[in-house]
Amino acid sequence: MNTTLPATAPVHFIRNEQLRAEAAIEPAAPSTAPVTKTTQIIAIYGKGGIGKSFTLANLSYMMAQQGKKVLLIGCDPKSDTTSLLFGGKACPTIIETSSKKKLAGDPVAIGDVCFKRDGVYAMELGGPEVGRGCGGRGIIHGFETLEKLGFHDWGFDFVLLDFLGDVVCGGFGLPIARDMCQKVIVVASNDLQSLYVANNVCSAVEYFRKLGGNVGVAGMVINKDDGTGEAAAFADNAGIPVLAAIPANEDIRRKSASYEIIGRPGTEWAPLFETLATNVAEAPPMRPKPQTQDQLLGLFSAEVTGRDFKMEPATLFDMVGKQDLLKPTLEVVYDAA
């Protein structure tokens, strides 16, 4: 095609001809080579104190020992995700570091916020001081900083996000609402409050799926499992698999309290975390079936929940000590002419 144009041709005519010439060029054939790197981004949710950080520190460590390149990101304002991984040492948070660097007029570098141990890369987003800001907004700011650092170009096999689940703030629902992860895992125990949080996460996933989202729930990790079975029953009712059940064991509790990694190859608890690592990697994202409040309560005996109690409506007499409560009306009443 001859694209030589007269020197006197109008500018808009020249531009149109250039666009036609560009459009006539056949695009390169799509690559049929095998995919060289696929990153699984997994958000882990659970009630505060249920053991997410313990689970993730040991899971990420085991994954790295299995030859996977793993990035662990703490997205809880407590900033305790990496403490166990780093032997009790506090990791500088992205929010705090970003603030200090900004005041100094310096950019944030990878080495300022990302640290590693035995093949696991880890960082903390952080959060504001108590009463001085929104934790969810801090999460959003943290991810914005990660994007500036090139987050989407990093070549990890797994990115594990540790999120606080017992809040309703939008920032903590970011991975689900914006399809920032492929799947969600919930950590819970055999108690009503942790299952309530797990159910809320399932409800959020289902809500955004109905709006066109693609995130699903890959399963549940039961921590401090005492064998009573309520968490497993919830998972079955919600239609999600149990990926692992970590027992309520004094050895685990003691080692975790002293910041010891128990998910190391060749140790007593290695098979548990090897199985968990495999299940986390292979479990597909699924649409959960959130439970109603009555269905959640139905997992526990009436002695625990008080379901055999009959609710009695309150009366006006209960409130003011008499049957009638007369108040003068503010309505303007006009006498008939």
Residues constituting the chain: 337
Query: Could you tell me if residue 121 is inside a domain?
Result: yes
Query: In the predicted model, is pLDDT for residue 75 greater than 70?
Result: yes
Active site residue 47: yes
Query: Could you tell me if residue 315 is inside a domain?
Result: no
| DSSP per-residue letters across 234-278 | HHHHHT--EEEEEE--HHHHHHHHTT-----TTSTTHHHHHHHHH
**Among residues 68, 69, 78, 289, which one is catalytic?**
78
Query: Could you tell me if residue 176 is inside a domain?
Result: yes
Query: Could you tell me if residue 180 is inside a domain?
Result: yes
Query: Could you tell me if residue 13 is inside a domain?
Result: no
Query: Could you tell me if residue 208 is inside a domain?
Result: yes
Are 175 and 43 within 8 A, CB to CB?
yes
Active site residue 183: no
CATH code of the domain in which 278 resides: 3.40.50.300
Q: Which domain holds residue 277?
A: 41-297
Active site residue 80: no
What is the pLDDT at residue 337?
57
Percent of the chain having pLDDT more than 70? 79
What is the pLDDT at residue 133?
61
What is the pLDDT at residue 31?
42
Rg over alpha carbons for the chain, rounded to the nearest Å, is: 28
**Among residues 162, 166, 224, 255, which one is catalytic?**
166
What is the pLDDT at residue 132?
63
What is the pLDDT at residue 36?
46
* Phi and psi at residue 153, to the nearest 5°: -105, -5
Mean pLDDT for 232-240 is: 97
Res. 45 pLDDT band, cuts 50 70 90? very high
CA distance 139 to 151: 15
Query: Could you tell me if residue 327 is inside a domain?
Result: no
Residue with tokens 């900004």: 102
Res. 35 pLDDT band, cuts 50 70 90? very low
Please name every residue paired with 116 in a beta bridge, in sequence order, or none if there are none.
121
* E strand or H helix at 124: strand 120-124
The domain tally of the chain equals 1
Query: In the predicted model, is pLDDT for residue 28 greater than 60?
Result: no
Token pair listed for 101:
């660097």
Query: Could you tell me if residue 30 is inside a domain?
Result: no
* pTM, to two decimals: 0.78
Active site residue 78: yes
Res. 77 pLDDT band, cuts 50 70 90? confident
55-64, 81-90, 119-128 — most confident range: 55-64
